Chains A and B, each alone.
Chain A
Amino acid sequence: MSGSFTTTTARNIFYGGTLFFLLVFLALTFQNEQIIPQRDQREMLSNPQIAAGKKLWETNNCVGCHTLLGEGAYFAPELGNVVVRMGSKEAVKAFIQSRPAEGVPGRRSMPQFGFSDQDLDNIAAFLDYVSKINAAKWPPNVQG
């Protein structure tokens, strides 16, 4: 790297190249925003239970053990499709409610969060909403 290729040239290519590809990325992002309304089930958000459920999801740090659409921690099952896997919202609620406070001896354990019935409804509504997002056929099968 010598001759006519000077540091100034390199610097200019850096600024020009970065700016160009940044603009392309922003264009793709704009396009993305146009398309996702067909995939993200935003109509469902008019049900206030989902936002409440998302907040419970966050304030109890479920993502610290579980993945949701493949993102999060790898210690416990994927939950993006858990309503499908367990068959119903009721089954999901029953599972969460039945966690023993002291854990299951020797087994990876999930905390007992002490949710009210309404909290459970909200969480289940949230997980149901996520399971309906069009995630390009992911996960490969129901086991997540």
Chain B
Amino acid sequence: MVDAKKARETREPVVGENVVRVDGAAKVTGGARYVDDIPPMPGELHGATVRSRVPRGILRAIAFDPSFDWSDVTVVTAKDVPDNVVQLIVDDQPVLAAERINHMYEPVVLLACSDKAKLARAYAAVTLDIEPLPAVFDMEESLAAETVIWGEANVQNRYLITKGAADTDESEAAIDVAIAACEVVVRGSYSTHHQEQLYIEPNGMIAWWDEAGAHATGSLQCPFYVHKAFKRCFHLEPEQIHITQAVTGGGFGGKEEYPSLIALHAALLAKKSGRPVRIIYDRVEDIEATTKRHPSRSWIESGCDRDGTLRALKMRVMMDAGAYVTLSPVVLSRGVLHAGGCYRWADVRIEGIGVATNTPPNGAFRGFGAPQTIWAIERHLDAVARQLGLDAGELKVRNMLVEGDTTSTSQTLRGSVGGTECVERAFEASDYLARRRAGPSVLGRKARGLGCAVFMHGGGFTGSGERMLKGKVAVDLLAGGRLEIRSGSTDIGQGTETVFAQIAADAAGIPFEHVSVAVPSTTHVPDSGPTVASRTVMVVGAIVERAAKELAARVEASRRPGETFAAAGDRLLAKEGPQSALVQYEPPAWVNWDDKKYKGDAYPVYAWMCDVAEVEVDLDTFEVKVLNFWSAADVGKAIHPLMCKGQLEGGSLQAIGWALSEEVVWKAGAIVNPRMTNYIIPTALDAPPFETFLVEAPYEHGPSGGAKGIGELPMDGGAPAVAAAVEHATGLIINHLPLTPERLFAAWLNSEAAQ
């Protein structure tokens, strides 16, 4: 007989191994059921949303063509909404517009019918009478507040970070003095544009009602956000709401807050019709109506020594929130917290302003405000280097934060600071310094150049967020010594289920195959907090580890000599009934954050990364091809190295797309290119070969030996690295995204004219 204890001890650990993804087979064989693959429920109706199609105005009337047969069409308007608010941070967004129209794609009327073709005709038979009002699309115009479209003066949020000399009531005057005292002063302005998440699976939801209450299932990241939205809108008790994630085909933040709205719409139609209702957005509707990355504008003035030692930073960041607040305060917050980059500044004043415009609300998108400000600070450091005659890479290395240094929020970095090693690895692999010094290589009408970006990204919720959130996870003991993890964290393609199972298997000392992850449904999983903010592995994974350990210890304690873990577990279940461990997250005790002064430990730890991009620019057509992309990332601990690299490379490609080709084109508040044919994400052919190195500077509170959050990190660096490489190749300095051939051409014309 095998010695059970020994068998458990000799079990191969799975952390650090590229185990086969638990969701892989179902996805590649087509077995996985995304929301629109779920077979129709009896009597199910299709739902559709009639939108304002006017960027701002007053809804006067809704006309339903009397010659149309409405007998089998369910119609819902604002009048049918019990509490007409989408619950999030501020109660400004209605579930259906009642009177005020604040953007082009505001939902006004919901329709449902069992016949899809008839539904399309019903849609055409609704006419909205909207009296137009002047609309505001531009951030600066909004700030000027000549036309007030939100609150008292269009400003939704402001943040101020001060440090050193600027840490006074007169912070602006103080920072001006500090900068003026510097040997070299550099000024610049930088901007970024919208970005659409473009997950493969568009948004969709099915909702129905029964004696248990309201149900919704669909494509989503945060089941408990939908749960809260239902509680508010329908005034239900928590146990009357049942929100379940369907297999989800990507999210990138785009399925963080918006699914609440679609689920509410489906549930409103379901309630009125008494039938299940399915709403599936097509690509056009998804691009038009759902959230996008916030556009930004930044102004930077900085002072440094002639030798390149950075001293003082003054920065103003403005973000375009769109028509409603949604998550914008949090996005802007992460933006300002990352605005100083990964650099040592003695004196800092960073101001953030979120303004409203009459465009659909912008929302969560991988990086969550940081890619915008890191674009600005990285491009600014490139400008400083240019002015000093230094290489930008050398300047960045010289000023990088190391252990013991303080960030812009005066947070002292306490360890797990792997930035320097990241830079060394990426520079060495790309031969960055020598190739930069050698200058661009020009062959015929093609020029090649190299550029780098160095950055860090905070893991988990900002400041005191995790302390307030109190994320929970449960692990149950099943028959046969198996464990099941119950958590509200969702696998949306990033591999959460697999990584959670790895963490739990090693924590409990059982085989990987003996761990399963429950479908996230609010009815039977605890609220682990949303699947956002690079927190799933680092924060939720840490409590998965603790819960699995705790439960395994319980089995272990009851185990008789010679008994297997499975047998001990079964005996425990028989004797004492269901066994589970519920663990709540506690941030490290030393995390100290002052929300008023915006000072302290903004994040318990940061992941680090250095990107080097090599581009080839066609000097005739200004097409930019990324030839190579080297990067090194400090991830703390790579639990699944292959998926970890997959996240880093996928995020970098998303950043390259944002930099080079993706652009939402607007005309009077409407999106002109809401299709995959003209919203240009990179294809496999546009993707460079990636060479990615994993650096592991463990975070003492991370799971499985120190994992940090890396989901958002790679989105931060691709754009500035590519822009620096284009500058190296061509001399064209671009501070405003995107670097489309048309914009490069225009910049080249300007530079020719200037000469």
- Whether A and B are associated in the same complex: the answer reads no
User: Which A residues have a C-beta under 8 Å from some C-beta of B?
Assistant: none
User: Which B residues have a C-beta under 8 Å from some C-beta of A?
Assistant: none
